[in-house]
Amino acid sequence: MRFKIAQIDEIKPGQGKSIQLNGKAIALFNVKGYYYAVDDSCSHMGAPLANGMLAGKSVTCEWHGASFDLASGEALNSPARGNITAYKVFVDGQNLEIEID
């Protein structure tokens, strides 16, 4: 099922934004015009990832430095304790939508 989560102009390239959807925190990122969405909670200690540092297609948690691949949610280094969920992002006109099963 797809859900509208933002509009394109709400998130500038190189930025992240935290979105609440049905009680779930999701981090939305704009990487050079490509959009990615992952759980907004680091698998190490639950820090929000929306304010993390972007480097290519990965985000690094600002609390302890765990990094995650934005396309897959794969944990790239410790102290991450596991992967996070990555969501497909769709552009529909000016709207950004994600797919959640």
When pLDDT is averaged across residues 49-61 and rounded to a whole number, the result is 97
Find out whether 35 and 15 touch, Cβ atoms under 8 Å: no
Q: Which CATH architecture is the domain 2-99 placed in?
A: 3-layer Sandwich (2.102)
Say how far apart CA 33 and CA 71 lie, in whole Å. Answer: 14
Quick: pLDDT tens for 27-53: 999 999 999 999 999 999 999 999 999
Say how far apart CA 61 and CA 16 lie, in whole Å. Answer: 12
Find out whether 52 and 82 touch, Cβ atoms under 8 Å: no
Radius of gyration of the chain from Cα atoms? Answer: 12
- The domain limits of the chain are 2-99
| pTM of this structure | 0.95
Indicate whether 101 pLDDT > 90: no
